[in-house]
Amino acid sequence: MSATSVEGGPASATPPGPSFGQRLLGVFRGGGLWREAATTAAAILLALLVGAILMIVSDPDVAGQWAYLFTAPHLPLAASWGKVWGAYSALFVGALGSPTAIAETTARSAPLIAAGLGVGLGFRAGLFNIGAQGQAIWGAVLAAYVGFAWQLPLGLHLLVAILGGLLGGAVWGGIVGVLKAKAGAHEVIVTIMMNYIAMYLLAWLLTTSAFQRPGRTDPISPELPASATMPSFGLTRFHLGFILAVVAAVAVWWLLERSVLGMQIRAVGANPHAARTAGMSEARTTIITMALAGGLAGLAGLMSTLAPAPSGVPTPLSDGVVGSVGFDAITVALLGRSHPIGIVFAGLLFGAMNAGGLAMQSMAQTPNTLVYVLQALIVLFVAAPKLVSTLLPFLKGRLRKASATGGEA
Amino acid sequence: MKKALVIPAALLGAAALTMSGCSTPPSATTAETTAAPKIDYIACMVSDSGGFDDKSFNQTSHDGLIKARDELGVQTKEVESTNTKDFENNINSMVQAGCKTIVTVGYLLSDATVKAATANPDINFAIVDDNPTAAKDLKNLKPLVFNTAQSSFMAGYLAASLSTSGKVGTFGGMKIPTVTIFMDGFAQGVTYYNEKKGKDVATLGWDSAKQDGQFVGGFEDVAAGKQTAKALTSQGADILFPVAGPAGQGALQEALDSSGKVSAIWVDTDGCVSAANFCSILASSVYKGMDVAVFDAIKDGVDGTFSNTAFVGTLDNGGTGLSPFHEFDSKVSADTKSELDQIKKDIISGTITIESAAQPS
């Protein structure tokens, strides 16, 4: 296999014609199924390998043993194997090792899937929605407010809280769509700024008497009553949120693949000029897509305030309550190739890694940050398929063959 | 195919070679150090979102855990939190890891700690910086709190005496009692200096009477801390007192950038030790003996004498105080030094009273 044959490989799938943005979106939208699955699996494998090397290098006790490589080779090998095996088995046990662990994985996957769908939907319409964080914050805020401030009957209370959260995200996303469609503002800049506005509005709201828990001077809301808490099924952490996320994935799949609106979204994403010539309204599609994307991110946000924590009571609204779900969603959408099914799997993978990361820290005393490094490496390798095929040569022939037959979907 | 295989193989080989050498491993008998013999007791710690490397609050508490490992021979486990949602999960993971004493670091973990202590009556819990009302009924939850208003009062007096612009500044990470207690003490120390010396040094960033001032909005963001510090120095403050964990390092950077115009007083631990690169601009630090308190709580657990009686660190018992002046030793006048000694005596005897709603009882 010479270097020239690589040039005919996956790299040639992107001809020089389209703009940089369209080429990047091509990566998000994905190509042949087998090729994508193989690249992703290879990326995970490579990430685990690099992670293992990082673990060995960063632990002074283990790295020190490598000084004896030529005199007593069993020492460094055993120490390194023990370290890596301990960490990765803890990662696995924490993610899938028991029913409780699996429930934790679903609980952590659910918001990632929901927000990932929001970001992925935007990608399909050619929109870089970086604003899932702000949209999720509004989902969390409105859902929590309905939860602790309103008194409603059982059942209705949760329903209204969920609808409030969806509305919060949809409006925050919809504003971006309107600004883009009517005023020509670029959605990347607008969504990033809207994230800051949402973040600081939340910080301010938590200092007002409407949101702050009586008797506290720090930014924290009252706890939510049971009537506004999502029900669990068997295990506390296996809750309604995960079901809602899967339902949302099916709905997005239906929207994109089976509905007229979805066809318009994909058409605008593929070629806005052609879509306009065909009589579709780019402005209308942009606004609707951003509102839907916002609603999905809002679903992720409302889970963080309505879903039960391990004690059975939801985490009260505070500054960091949604975490970094809106940014993690971008990597989930990228890994899932913006396809609803892909996003569900990507969300499950990241959720499992987050759940396992805690066990890795508590059982194997390996820093949690390694999990984020692994996640970043996986996405890095996925975004650079040529790098994967260089590092794992046996994949090269198959990837080339698949790209020749599969092509862009 | 062969050529392609060479690249990954070469990479791995190079990695292995860079780490390896030709040393001979030490014989097994000399490997054991002089550390205390290992005992079958697991002591654990959960940080708040600042992380154990914050050069401040979490790090000092963590030092107590390390000391327990080295001197008592206990095994240790630890988990760092990244956001508020993690707290319950993280404490639970320590329960499952078989910990016998779990120390949670920070007021923000209060709710989660009380829940875990209620659910696990056989495990000892100690929480740094909070005395939850619910803890009174819990036999297995020991609050570790510090009256840092006392030491911050001294820091305020020191800052006022060092200021040439007549303005000193402070800011917090978040408006929580364990932060505002420092700011209350600091502001009142400045006021005390003004009364004694007939001066008019202004405190920017905190109004003790209104209980309102400058906050970063979190403890992690160093850049935001620097922004907040800049806001104070641009109003003329030349001594900064950041009470914001790692974000407070932004104030130290701002002071370092000012090339001598601005200096700072660090909190929680002696900054000249934990953040030595900033020692040249640190007049002193308000230390909070969390390492000692954490160590004692773990030791009580090991000895079987654990109780739920709150530990309150004061100037009197050395649980809090002013760190040495280090490089500022020559800049602090002998008069100020003796005045500070007198203030310390007066606070202990109750001659000086500090008003702060956040003070532990």
* DSSP-assigned letters across all residues of A235-252: EEEEEHHHHHHHHHHHHH
Contact B80 A321 (CB under 8 A): no
Is residue A89 very low, low, confident or very high in pLDDT (cuts 50, 70, 90)? very high
Average pLDDT in chain A: 86
- Rounded Cα gap, residues A203 and B261, in angstroms: 33
Q: CA torsion angle for A153, A159, A161, A165 (degrees, to 10)?
A: -170
Amino acid code (one letter) for A48? L
Phi and psi of A310, rounded to 5°?
-50, -30
Within a 13 Å sphere around the CA of B257, how many CA atoms are in the beta-carbon half? Answer: 11
Instruction: Tell whether B321 is covered by a domain.
Output: no
Domain shared by B265 and B158, yes or no:
yes
Domain shared by B138 and B156, yes or no:
no
Instruction: Tell whether B82 is covered by a domain.
Output: yes
Domain shared by B186 and B271, yes or no:
yes
B88 touches chain A (CB under 8 A): yes
Query: Which of residues B130, B146, B162 is at a domain's end?
Result: B146
- Nearest CA to A228 out of A154, A292, A337, A335 is that of A154
Domain shared by B117 and B259, yes or no:
no
Instruction: Tell whether B242 is covered by a domain.
Output: yes
Contact A71 B177 (CB under 8 A): no
- Contacts with A, B 210-269, CB within 8 Å: 211, 217-218
Identify all chain B residues contacting A320, using CB atoms and an 8 Å cutoff: 49, 83-85, 218
Token pair in block for residue B43 = 């002591």
- Contacts with A, B 113-152, CB within 8 Å: 115, 119
- Rounded Cα gap, residues B116 and B100, in angstroms: 13
Residue B87 belongs to domain spanning = 42-146
A245, B87, B130 from B290: Cα distances, Å? 43, 20, 12
- Nearest by CB: A323 against B25, B83, B107: B83
- Rounded Cα gap, residues A15 and A30, in angstroms: 15
For chain A, what's the residue count? Answer: 409
Token pair in block for residue A187 = 């959605």
A80 touches chain B (CB under 8 A): no
Instruction: Tell whether B297 is covered by a domain.
Output: no
pLDDT in tens, chain B (361 residues): 445 556 656 666 665 556 555 566 665 544 444 567 888 999 999 998 878 888 888 999 999 999 999 999 999 999 998 888 889 999 999 998 999 999 999 888 988 999 999 999 999 999 999 888 877 889 999 999 999 999 999 999 999 999 999 999 999 998 888 899 999 999 999 999 999 999 999 999 999 888 889 999 888 889 999 999 999 999 999 999 999 988 999 999 999 999 889 999 999 999 998 889 999 999 999 999 999 999 999 999 999 999 999 999 999 999 999 999 999 999 999 999 999 999 999 999 999 999 888 888 6
- Nearest by CB: B175 against A75, A218, A362: A218
Amino acid code (one letter) for A194? M
Instruction: Tell whether B67 is covered by a domain.
Output: yes
β pairing state of B206-207 and B212-213: antiparallel
Query: Which of residues B80, B115, B146 is at a domain's end?
Result: B146
The CATH number of the domain where B158 resides is what?
A: 3.40.50.2300
The domain ranges of chain A are 105-335
Residues B127, B295 contacting (CB under 8 angstroms) = no
Asked if pLDDT for residue A279 goes beyond 70, the answer is yes
Instruction: Tell whether B173 is covered by a domain.
Output: yes
- Rounded Cα gap, residues B17 and B10, in angstroms: 10
Question: What is the CA angle B72-B76-B79, rounded to 5?
Answer: 150
| Residue with more model confidence, B128 or A379 | B128
Helix, strand, coil percentages (3-state) for chain B, rounded to 5, are: 45, 20, 35
- Contacts with A, B 268-327, CB within 8 Å: none
Domain shared by B59 and B165, yes or no:
no
Phi and psi of A47, rounded to 5°?
-65, -40
Instruction: Tell whether B15 is covered by a domain.
Output: no
Domain shared by B211 and B172, yes or no:
yes
β-strand partners of B24: none
Q: CA torsion angle for B33, B38, B42, B45 (degrees, to 10)?
A: -20
- Rounded Cα gap, residues B355 and A232, in angstroms: 47
Instruction: Tell whether B27 is covered by a domain.
Output: no
Domain shared by B154 and B130, yes or no:
no
Domain shared by B125 and B223, yes or no:
no
Domain shared by B226 and B334, yes or no:
yes
- State the first-to-last Cα distance of chain B, in angstroms, to the nearest integer: 74
Domain shared by B141 and B46, yes or no:
yes
Question: What is the CA angle B161-B166-B171, rounded to 5?
Answer: 90
Contact B24 A321 (CB under 8 A): no
Query: Which of residues B90, B118, B146 is at a domain's end?
Result: B146
Domain shared by B117 and B158, yes or no:
no
Domain shared by B133 and B115, yes or no:
yes
Domain count, chain B: 2
Which helix (H) or strand (E) element contains residue A191? helix A187-205
Contact B5 A393 (CB under 8 A): yes
For chain B, what's the residue count? Answer: 361
Which helix (H) or strand (E) element contains residue B126? strand B124-128
